[in-house]
Structures are given as C-alpha cells and as structure tokens.
A and B are shown apart, each in its own frame.
Chain A
C-alpha cells in the first residue's frame, strides 16, 4: 500500500544486503493475510476497534500492512466471540490469535540489535536468566563490598551498601541502552508503513487512545472479552493500575534524581516527601494491577490470543510484581537486618526489568502506540478506495 516506503526499504536492503529484497510473508503473516481477505468482505466487526476500519482502507495485505494491523490489535477478543466464521467454521477465523502470532514476530523482526530479536522466542527463559543474573550481580556486589548481607543497615541508608555512583553507573547504561534499542526498533517499524507526517491532532488522538486504552472498551464501553463472550472492564482497569503504577514509580525515580543532582538533596527521603509518596502510590498500584492482569491471563479463553506467548506475558507481569513488591518491602525493612537482602532483590529485579525492556512484553506498549499514531494519521487522509454501496 505504501509503494514509496517499500521501494526505499528494498533499495536500502539491496544496498546493504541485509534484508530479503522481496518481503516474503512468514507463515503467521500469510495466515493474517488470508483472514483479512475474509474479514474485508464481511466487516461486521468494524465497530469494535481500529483494526477493521484500517483494514477497509486496503484491498491487499502486504507484510508491512500485516505488521501494522497486528500491532493495532489489542487482543480484546470481541471479534472472536462475534465471528460467524470462527472455529469450528471451515474459514477458521480467529483474528486475535493470528494477530498475536504476528505481533511477537514483529517485535523480534524490528528488534535492535537484530541478533537479540531471538530473545523473544524463548522469552520465559530470557526473563528468568535476566532475573538470576540481576540478583547474582547485586548479591555478589554486596558480599564483596560489605563482606556480609546482614549487618549493613547503617541508619537505613542504601548508599552505605551500594554507593550512589555505583548504582547510577550500573543502571544508567542499561536504561539508556533499552531506550536506544526500543527507539531504533520502533523507528524501523514506523518507516515501513509511514502514512505521512503526524499533525498535532493526530498525535493528540493517538495519545488519548493510548492513555485511556480506548480499544479495550469493546467499542460500546462495556469492555473487552476475557473468559467468555461476556464483556468486562477488568482488563482495562488492571492495565491502568499497572501502567500508571509504573509511571508513578518512574516519576518517583525521576524526582529523586532531580533532588539529588539539582538540589543536592540525598536519599533517604521522608515518608511524606514527593519521591516517597509517588513511589508508594506507584508500587501499590503496580501490585494491584499485576495481580489482576495475572488472574485475567490465567482465565483467558483458550482461543483468544497465542498460547505460546503466555510465558512472556506472565513473566513480564511477574517481574513487574516482584519489582513493586520488593520495592515496598525495602521501604518497610529499613533499619532491619534484612535491608541488605531486600535491596539486592529489588535492584536485581529492576535490573532484569530494564535489561529486558526491549526484548519482552514491554515492547507491546511502544509498538502499539506507534500503530495507533499511524492509524490516527491514516484515518485523517482521504480513502483512496471508492467502494460502492453493496
């Protein structure tokens, strides 16, 4: 559908010899293409989300279109339960599942550096190893620096266990690498099906859809499907708890960084200080959100989504939970002998989380936001098709 971008990419690929000249569809992409041809001649699901209106602007589905549509899909399940062609019908339409299978391929395909894209393939293992490595790192550091984990609660000051500069030196590069990696990945995704320049209205629209999780409302406001054909707002709400909890924790860290460098106010901060309040609120919110999402994930209808990705989904949810829980425990364990141990667990979890951000479930937020922005731009452009009334 975007011949210029496709040609440019082909030319670039040809020059570098890094990419197949003709984008060959994967098995999963071919399946999405097959299903979209059927959906496009039915269109009953147009009211649920952005995937189907975006589909109706196309007659053919190339690799880039399929990757774009797959990332627009929120796996809400509405179209699966409403589908007259869902299994056991011979057309075997299951859009949420087909899209999920492609989605994880796009994360891997667009990953930077490309070699690390394979980390998506066995993501449960990736997360476990990252966590073990993170824990081991801090336990060994603590042991090395302090000689023991259990005597170091010098007034509850973490920096007496791990000096501030050491922590910055460890976390800053990992975090910046994650940001760089995700940015380069999503940039490649964007170039592939760039629908044009983003206007302020389009950016505002996309931000609204992202921040409100509009497409988990079912199109009618009663929510998405989870265990069966009934609607629930639980997933949308628990995702909000998780997302905004994460952002509050991020804000707590950011404020603390400003305090440290701008004002020279060093941690620990008081219970009513801004970093503490943000951190506590964020941590509690994360705990509620991740527990809710985990239970919903366990109860999800077996046909909805890709079963092979459950380890990635649940691994990421668990890592977020561990980060929040260890963070809150750390606060409560100040002045106790377990401070050193909880600090190591918390820092290990955070390190594992940061290190795997570009190679795990976290990527869904970035790619989906980009897809929603594409849609916000695309829908403001005139439709090139003039399909008559049926």
Chain B
C-alpha cells in the first residue's frame, strides 16, 4: 500500500506530491486526463502573487503582508477567512526557492503586464512549463504517476480515508490522501443547476464558455459533499471574465480575452449600454465583466471601438468585425440598427473631451449619460469601426470543501485525520468571490504544500499505529 495518494494533476496536486515525497512518503498521483492534457487549469496560468518586504529577483519594490491582505479583502468583499488567507499570503513569500529547486523558472512581467511587476512573479513559459517541471521533478524523485485515471468515489470510515475508486472500477488504498482535483466549471449540468433559470426564461450558464480544462467535472467535489464533507462557498461564484464569443468551449485560456472594453463602449444584444466601461483600469475591472455579460439577454455583449483605439490594447486572438459606418457595423453584428446608432450618437454627444491618457485615470468622461463612462470617453467617430462579441468565460468555480490551517477535510466540524484537500477544491475558503491576478496559484501552492506535508505525517502515524 502506498503512503500518500494524490488525486489530481495540477499545481496543488503536484506541490502536495512533491512535499510528501520529500518528507519520505511513497506517493502515487492519479491524473484524470491523458498525459497531453495534464495539469488541469494550472497549464493556463502564468504567475504567482507574492508577498515580499523588499525587491526580490524578478519582483520590484515591496508588497507587504498587510497590503496583500487588504487587496484580498477588497476583491472578495470580505467573503474570506483571514486566518487561512494570511497563511497563503505568508507562504507566498517563501515558496519560490522551493519552486526553483523543482525546476520552475521565473521571469520579469510579460509585455502588457507591467502593472503587476511589483506583486506577481511570472513563470517563464507560463503554467504549462511549471507543470512540466513539477512532473519531471516528481518522476525523478520517484513519485508514481498514472494518467487517464479519473477517481469517482472515496471510501471512508467515518472521517478516515480508506481508498479511492477509479472510473475503471479499481480500488486504490493508501495511508492518507490529498484531494486536488479542481472545481466543477466544466460540468455543464452542475453549472445549469447552480445558475438556474433567469426572469427571461433563459438558462444563462448554457452560454458560458470555459477558459480552463475540460476535465474539471467536479465529480469528487460532489461526491465529498454528498458524503457529508463540510462545504464552503456559493456555487455561482467563480473567476469569470468577458471573453471573445468565438473562443473554444474549453481551454481557451489567456488569449481569448478582449482588452479594448475601456477604450470604447459595450452594448448588449438590444444595442444598449449597461455599465461604466471606464470605471477603473482594465486589470482591475476585467474580472467583473464576466458576470455583467452573464446578466445581459442572451449572455452576450459587444465591445465597440474605432480606429483611434487600434494599437492601444493587447491584440485579440480573432480579428474584430469591421465596418466603415456605425450603421454597417450594427448590420454586420446583427444588432438592432436604430437603437444601436442612437446609443452611439447619445454617447458621442455626451463625451466631454479632456486630455486622453489611457495610462492614467484621465478626465475624458461623459456628461448627462446613463450609465456614465467616467474615464477614457472619446467619441467613437473615426472609421473603420470594430466590434467584438463577448461571452462570459469561466476560469474556475469557488464552491469547495471547508478546511483548517492543516488543509484537512471536515465532516460536521470534525477534521479528518488523513484526508486533505488543496487547490480549487478549497480555494473558496479564501476566495469567496472576486479575483486578483496570481492569487489562485498562491492558494494552490500554499495549501498543496501544506496538504502534502500533512498527508506524509498522517501516513507515518498510521505506520506507528500498526507497527
């Protein structure tokens, strides 16, 4: 019998497997996907939000614990656990040397991401390079890895883990276990159940795209909740952004984002604006636009810009729909022509020109328009005009299992002695809603490492008890 069984193959699972192996435990890791799709959502990530008190290799200035905590408090609107959050924050200040030892390379921020040069350390080559490095290190250290092995249920004896059952019917016993198999974002039925039907009779989640892996079906999460494990979080809460409507259904990743929202206006299917596009810098607002679009009819919206915006935002993956007049653009996008043109005329007339500066919260704003555009408002009047259809893109869901600082799974408030959980399956403890770049990897790394250490220690205890 193996000491530690790790279920999952993303960042948190790999951190757990590596830590458990380093602590001397024998480790078996089960990845649901085939080898070429391994790594879950981690293959789409690119950085780690890091606390640091002074400049550190690729990180400039300082990002102290208190500031990090305040940022987290702000984005979550207080729906977080301060104790666990601070644990993850502090761990983020010391984990990078360990990551480097396992082959992860860091680099200064990528072009177009300088705003996080102080707070986030970027993985050279992105998350898939990190996942590759961890798998290589794990194999070198003797961690057994099995691909194509989804786990469908967990055999429990009270709060104690006994064995895992795979989809193929195999029973795998272990002295302790770490669950790190991701959220349920690619389970369409569960999303439908969570989001329900809206007042228009639509099932909004049917129009969601999944930015991440197709393998996060939430099978284990559901099994554990049904088995009596304590859960935390709202099933409709997720990292959700507005992405190109033409993105693939799964695994669209970073490149499907549309970064021109703050440079133009956004209208819904009816041709009307619905939110202040210039409320704040795009990096601080992109994470709310997924939900905003989800609330619109048909869960679709259109980002409209003109020639003046070209070359001022990160290039989108697909070319926009272009036209020489706004009327023609409405026709090409299939928007109600008169309403759309009136929306645009009203907006253009309401723009009070100031000194346009898209690197600052400038004084270009609308007057007497509802909703207002409070910065970067310039008339959209220079052909050619471009339109990009937007849909909500789910990165990962926040519903998870409740944990303590040892990452232990809980049953009616009692912690399991040998079953631990890490990554998206418990990120909701810290992240009740909202998002800030690199915090998912910070939580996954911190709790993955804790879970691995705890699982190795729990396996040792079992040995002593049976000896």
Contacts and interface: CB of A to CB of B under 8 A. Distances in A.
Given A89-B251, A229-B136, A38 B317 contact: yes
Contact of B125 (A47, A90, A390): A47
Contacts, number: 124
Interface stretch (A75-83, A315-323, A325-333, A373-381): A75-83
A84 interface: yes
Contact of A41 (B122, B127, B286, B314): B314
A85 B36 CA distance: 11
Contact of A43 (B110, B129, B248, B263): B110
B186 to A, nearest CB: 15
A388 B253 contact: no
Interface stretch (B112-120, B148-156, B299-307, B425-433): B112-120
A37 B315 contact: yes
Contacts of B114: 389
Which 3 pairs of residues, A with B, have the shortest CB-CB distance? A44-B126, A82-B125, A82-B129
12 contacts: A38-B255, A41-B315, A42-B126, A44-B127, A46-B110, A47-B107, A48-B124, A220-B124, A229-B136, A387-B112, A388-B313, A388-B359
Nearest to A59: B315
Contact of A78 (B46, B125, B257): B125
Interface in B347-393: 358-359
A385 interface: yes
Contacts of B313: 387-388, 390
Contacts of A45: 125-126
B281 interface: yes
Given A40-B315, A59-B315, A90-B248, A84 B112 contact: no
Nearest to B256: A41
B110 A389 contact: no
B125 A42 contact: no
B467 to A, nearest CB: 39
A272 interface: no
A53 B110 CA distance: 9
A139 to B, nearest CB: 52
B44 interface: yes
B274 interface: no
Interface in A50-65: 53, 56, 59
A42 B255 CA distance: 5
A43 B44 contact: no
Given A388-B358, A389-B114, A82 B132 contact: yes
Interface of B: 36-37, 43-44, 46, 105, 107, 110-115, 122, 124-129, 132, 136, 248, 251, 253-257, 259, 262-263, 281-283, 286, 310-319, 358-359
A389 B46 contact: no
A165 interface: no
Contacts of A8: none
Contacts of B113: 389-390
Contacts of A79: 125
A46 B46 CA distance: 12
Contacts of A387: 111-112, 311-315
A175 B241 CA distance: 61
A220 B108 CA distance: 12
Given A82-B126, A90-B248, A390-B112, A385 B359 contact: no
B311 A84 contact: no
B310 to A, nearest CB: 8
A83 to B, nearest CB: 7
A335 interface: no
A88 B283 CA distance: 31
Nearest to B253: A84
A42 B113 CA distance: 11
Interface in A329-388: 384-388
Contacts of A89: 251
B282 A388 contact: yes
A386 B46 contact: no
A289 B317 CA distance: 41
A44 B42 CA distance: 13
A387 B132 CA distance: 31
A38 B358 CA distance: 24
A47 B124 contact: yes
Q: Select the residue from A46, A229, A389 with max chain B CB neighbours within 10 A.
A: A389
B254 A386 contact: no
A385 B310 CA distance: 9
B202 to A, nearest CB: 27
Contacts of B263: 388
Given A42-B253, A43-B110, A389-B115, A84 B312 contact: no
Contact of B311 (A44, A53, A386, A390): A386
Contact of A81 (B37, B122, B132, B315): B132
A219 interface: yes
B125 A44 contact: yes
Contacts of B115: 389
Contacts of A40: 315
A85 B319 CA distance: 18
A2 interface: no
Contacts of A59: 310-311, 315
A256 to B, nearest CB: 47
A44 B37 CA distance: 18
B254 A44 contact: yes
B129 A390 contact: no
Q: Select the residue from A47, A53, A84, A230 with max chain B CB neighbours within 10 A.
A: A84
Given A37-B315, A42-B254, A388 B259 contact: yes
A56 B263 CA distance: 20
Contacts of B358: 388
A56 to B, nearest CB: 5
B317 A37 contact: yes
A44 to B, nearest CB: 3
A91 B129 CA distance: 18
Contacts of B44: 84
Contact of B281 (A87, A88, A389): A389
A360 B107 CA distance: 37
A386 B310 CA distance: 9
Contacts of A42: 126, 253-255, 317
A37 B313 CA distance: 14
A81 B35 CA distance: 12
Nearest to B122: A47
Contacts of A219: 105, 107, 124
Contacts of A385: 311
B131 to A, nearest CB: 9
A304 to B, nearest CB: 14
B158 to A, nearest CB: 41
A291 to B, nearest CB: 27
Contacts of B132: 81-82, 229
A306 to B, nearest CB: 21
Contacts of B248: 90-91
Q: Select the residue from A82, A90, A229 with max chain B CB neighbours within 10 A.
A: A82
Contacts of A90: 248
Contacts of B129: 44, 78, 81-82
